[in-house]
Structure 1
Amino acid sequence: MTAEPTTYHFVLTSQRFLFEEEPFEEVLEERYRYYEEHGKDIDFWPVKQPAFLEAPEFADAKARCPEPPVAIVTTDLDFANWLKLRLEYVIAGSFVAPCAAIPDAIASLESVA
């Protein structure tokens, strides 16, 4: 059985910016708490070194993002827009997956030690 194509939205930035310069842990905790209180399923995932950046259509975004990159991938466009406004220094976009170029929307190129 194959997964149905889904539109994913993302904000992309450097790991240093997101994890060291921004209070991102607080943002995540607040969002998890909100989802739990409202009975919502989690629809966002932080992805270090996101594999979707290897797709040809993201060559420009990959080139502009400081290394190593991190993306917050979500199916919620409103959340992605909120993150873009909240974090300011990010690259935002969307893609549909699974597809030939992006078989897994939240795959990471980061090796597991």
Structure 2
Amino acid sequence: MLGSKGVSVGSLGSCIVNVPTHKPTLSLPLLASPNNSIVKPCIGNSWKLRTPMKTAVAAVDSSQPAEKQETERKTYYFLVANAKFMLDEEEHFQEQLFERLRLYEERNKEQDFWLVIEPKFLDKLPNITKRLKRPAVALVSTNRPWITFMKLRLDRVLQENYEADSVEEALACTSISLEFEKPEKWVAPYPKYDSGWWTPFLPPGSKV
């Protein structure tokens, strides 16, 4: 005890109660940098730059090299018979072909029918060739309905189809010369076909 005005240690100790022992923390706002990264201010004059977390993704090109597409095979439809019947005997066959050719020219439509003399595709069709007299001529087209229509008109012909990778392959033929004897008497009301009338309907590049 320190006298009547003194303060005892015990009484002083009893006054120091519930005194905080830790420093208060200051909550500061987070700031955004120009590049959108997060800036966290720290106590003092120093600043710490926190970059956004990036997920590592392997740069994998999922696209596969384009595979070379196979040439699309096209179907060709045809009627075939021996050359004598198709080019020299069948009535109105010449007119029908020229009329169709004229129609295509008026409509600026690409020709899709041809006369193929001794076509090479017959080598792959033994069921057809065994029924044919040679030389043979085929009326070939990519237009199936029209070939069916012509089958009804010509009647005594064989009808079938085949596939080819190109027009050149589809219309390949063997070069031969065709000559038909003129009959002694011609009684039909229309003039006799002139030899070679079929030339405009031959495939491009044909040498017959």
Normalised by the length of structure 2, the TM-score is 0.48
Report what 1:41 is aligned to. Answer: 110
Report what 1:106 is aligned to. Answer: 171
* 1:98 Cα deviation after fit: 2.2
Amino acid at match of 1:70: V
Mapping for residues 1-113 of structure 1, pairs under 5 Å: 4-22=72-90, 23-55=92-124, 58-98=125-165, 104-111=169-176, 112=207
The structure in which a higher percent of residues are strand is: 1
Whole-Å separation in 2 of the counterparts to 1:4 and 1:44: 19
Change (3 A) 1:43 1:25: same
Kindly provide the CA deviation profile for residues 18-49 of structure 1, in whole angstroms up to 9, marking residues without a partner as x: 11111322111111011122222100110000
User: How high is the sequence identity, in percent, across the aligned residues?
Assistant: 36
Structure 1: unaligned runs, 5 residues or longer:
none
In the alignment of these two chains, the number of paired residues is 107
Normalised by the length of structure 1, the TM-score is 0.85
For the aligned residue pairs, the C-alpha RMSD in angstroms reads 1.9
* 1:110 Cα deviation after fit: 2.4
Structure 2: unaligned runs, 5 residues or longer:
1-69, 177-206
Whole-Å separation in 2 of the counterparts to 1:84 and 1:110: 26
Hey, which bits of structure 1, 4+ residues long, moved more than 4 A?
Answer: none
The structure in which a higher percent of residues are helix is: 1
* 1:69 Cα deviation after fit: 0.5
* 1:3 Cα deviation after fit: 5.2
Whole-Å separation in 1 of the counterparts to 2:175 and 2:103: 29
Amino acid at match of 2:123: E
SS at match of 1:70: strand
Amino acid at match of 1:25: Q
Kindly provide the CA deviation profile for residues 53-112 of structure 1, in whole angstroms up to 9, marking residues without a partner as x: 011xx101011011110001100001110110110000001111129xxx7110102244
Whole-Å separation in 1 of the counterparts to 2:81 and 2:138: 6
Q: Which has the larger radius of gyration?
A: 2
Whole-Å separation in 2 of the counterparts to 1:64 and 1:16: 15
Which protein, 1 or 2, shows the higher relative CO under an 8 Å CA cutoff with sep ≥ 6? 1
SS at match of 1:19: helix
Whole-Å separation in 2 of the counterparts to 1:73 and 1:4: 19
